[in-house]
A and B are shown apart, each in its own frame.
Chain A
Amino acid sequence: MQDAIDLAVFRELQDTAGAEFVTELVDTFLEEAPAMLAELRAARAAADGERFRRAAHSLKSNGMTFGATTLGALARALELKGIDADPSRNEAAIAAIDVAFADAAEMLKELARG
């Protein structure tokens, strides 16, 4: 969990956008991300490749913005691979993303507060 967020990336974001704004932005992300994860699952269930990629894409993009390296990398892998013929492989990947998000969320809350 310690390395869930790349501190260099996060500090740079604070420097350029302002720490106060980044605190609000973290809140927005924490509000929005569960919906993105749910969308990822729904797209998987519906076998909708386009939706699936878009949801993974959003998670990747936001993960990278905050320096959530692991989350970003896992979401990126899913975006590039898309829907798998074997649903269980996607589901395993989504579960890994859940964990990565939970780690990132916890650290982001701390960083934003600090």
Chain B
Amino acid sequence: MAESGARLLVADDNKVNRLLLIRSLELMGHRAAGAENGRVALEMLERESFDLMLLDIAMPEMDGFQVLERLLASTRLRDLPVIVTSAVEGLDSVVRCIELGADDYLHKPVNPVLLKARVNSSLEKKRLRDAQRELVRRFATSEVAQDLQQSGFALGGKHVNATVMFSDIRGFTSMCASQPPEETIELLNTYYTLMFDAISGRGGVVNQMIGDGLMAVFGAPLPLADAAGSAVRAALDMIEMIELLNVEHAAAGKAPVRIGIGIASGEMIAGYTGTQQRATYTCVGSTVNLAARLEAHTKDAQRTILIDRATLEALPPDAQVEVLGPVPLKGIAPAVEVFSVDCAQSL
């Protein structure tokens, strides 16, 4: 609610206008501070945090247009909602303000009813924008959010060199059948929390969750120095966390959780797929396919972490791996060399 008290800045060189606007905002339940010109306003914005600014145009030292230009150039301040309050006549200045990113324009003397409506609407927009950003952060991972913020959203793809990991819980379906549904959901949430932590701790990005399985990418959308090594280290962390979880499970008399992980490295096509309304960042291509097949093969091979040759070559020479030889994998010809990573090591 706006009445919960937003913090606003009033930039106006005219003291009467400034005091009156501050008073109006305070009567609306907000807290407001005043700045007597554009330069002072910018200094205050740099120093303190505000939810909205009411900005006059004709001011000495630095006028409203210049303030808007500075805000536009600042990554921190560019999203600050601004309502221009001015008695400057003519449509030109209104158009110029809107072009410079102002949310709204109120002619002075400001009508209090209009002021309240515009302020509330701008604060609401800001709240939605903040909430949206928070959602993007939570669901798309910070790397994707950063990539989106920097380059904007465009469906389409590009070739990237990266490492892909697939992981899922062994025998999950039978676990579901043997325990109450809320326990299954709780287990999934615990599992995801631990896996997300391990993966993002090594610079990876979880971009797909399907039931008890997940897909993570290392080295895209943002480059990562040692993508393959990071993926394997994340896999080792994941196993370690699962072991810790199993200690708790054993104490509670529950069956242990086992997971399988497949990792492959190489070129893939990365991008946002879906529709303009609903899209996810993902990677596709034979490398991704191989990682999925390696993960599926962990069951037959009775191993926990399987990797391809490209991933192996990125590991330090003293890494403990077992050569499983060329293995025929479904949909991949010819048979590929598969390596099992010893889980009891730290790299």
Contact = CB atoms under 8 A, between A and B. Distances in A.
Same assembly: yes
Interface of A: 16-18, 21, 24-25, 28-29, 32, 53-54, 57-58, 60-62, 64-65, 79-80
Contacts of B16: 25, 28-29, 32, 62, 65
A24 B18 CA distance: 13
Interface in B74-113: 87-89, 108-109, 112
B267 to A, nearest CB: 60
B335 interface: no
A80 B87 CA distance: 12
Contacts of A65: 16-17, 20, 108-109
Interface in B170-218: none
Given A17-B20, A17-B27, A65-B20, A57 B88 contact: yes
A16 B24 contact: yes
B112 A54 contact: no
Sorted nearest first, the 8 A-B pairs with minimum C-beta distance are: A61-B87, A65-B109, A16-B112, A62-B16, A64-B109, A58-B14, A29-B16, A54-B58
Interface residues of B, number: 18
B58 A64 contact: no
15 contacts: A16-B24, A16-B27, A17-B20, A17-B24, A28-B15, A28-B19, A32-B15, A32-B16, A53-B58, A57-B58, A61-B17, A61-B109, A65-B16, A65-B108, A80-B89
B131 to A, nearest CB: 32
A8 to B, nearest CB: 13
A26 to B, nearest CB: 9
Contacts of A79: 89
Given A32-B15, A61-B87, A25 B109 contact: no
Interface in B47-71: 58, 60
Contacts of B109: 61, 64-65
Interface of A is mostly: helix
Contacts of B60: 54
A61 B108 contact: yes
A66 B13 CA distance: 18
B104 to A, nearest CB: 18
Contacts of B13: 58
Contacts of A18: 23, 27
Given A17-B23, A61-B108, 17 more contacts: A16-B24, A16-B112, A17-B20, A18-B23, A25-B16, A25-B19, A25-B20, A53-B58, A57-B88, A58-B13, A58-B14, A61-B14, A61-B17, A62-B14, A64-B87, A65-B20, A79-B89
Contact of B108 (A53, A64, A80): A64
A25 B17 CA distance: 9
- Of B23, B88, B109, most buried by chain A (CB within 10 Å of CB) is B109
A33 to B, nearest CB: 9
A93 to B, nearest CB: 17
A111 B27 CA distance: 23
- Of A16, A24, A79, most buried by chain B (CB within 10 Å of CB) is A16
A92 to B, nearest CB: 22
B256 to A, nearest CB: 69
